[in-house]
Amino acid sequence: MYPDDLFYTDEHEWVRIDNGGVTLGITKFAQDELGDIVFVELPGVGSVFDAEDEIGSIESVKAVAEVFTPIAGEITEINEALTERPELINQDPHGDGWLVRLKTDGEPDVSDLMGAAEYQEFVSDSDEE
């Protein structure tokens, strides 16, 4: 269910490391919890964030959720398609529903993030509570 090429946070964001950059989104679990997404607020290109900073928010019919970046970096691209079609996050949270791309200084530190199997166990434990 959760792609092996991604790293996951306990706040239900994912990151993909590709060609020295980082792509960030929210997980299927997060979008399931939110329900139908109706609006996405993202930072501007060129914005710089430290790890754990809030970078935007996602509004659904149920709630508003803040989005945090687990990796420090500069925003190089935002998913413009989400402006007109925020539901892409519901339809393809680990693909076309990505949020932002960041450029990092050096190799991104993913030591505090979970792999797919660990994240699957994490959300399974959450479902049982």
Domain-embedded: residue 12: yes
CA distance 83 to 38: 10
Using pLDDT thresholds of 50, 70 and 90, give the confidence band for residue 20: confident
Output the pTM of the full model: 0.94
Number of folded domains in the chain? 1
Of 17-21, 33-37, 68-72, 110-114, minimum mean pLDDT range: 17-21
CA distance 109 to 35: 31
Q: Is the C-alpha dihedral spanning 13, 92, 39, 85 positive or negative?
A: positive
CATH of the domain at 74: 2.40.50.100
Q: What is the model's pLDDT at position 1?
A: 81
Domain-embedded: residue 1: no
Range of the domain at 102: 7-128
Please provide the size of the chain in residues: 129
Using pLDDT thresholds of 50, 70 and 90, give the confidence band for residue 128: low
pLDDT digits (tens, 9 = 90+) for 71-110: 999 999 999 999 999 999 999 999 999 999 999 988 898 9
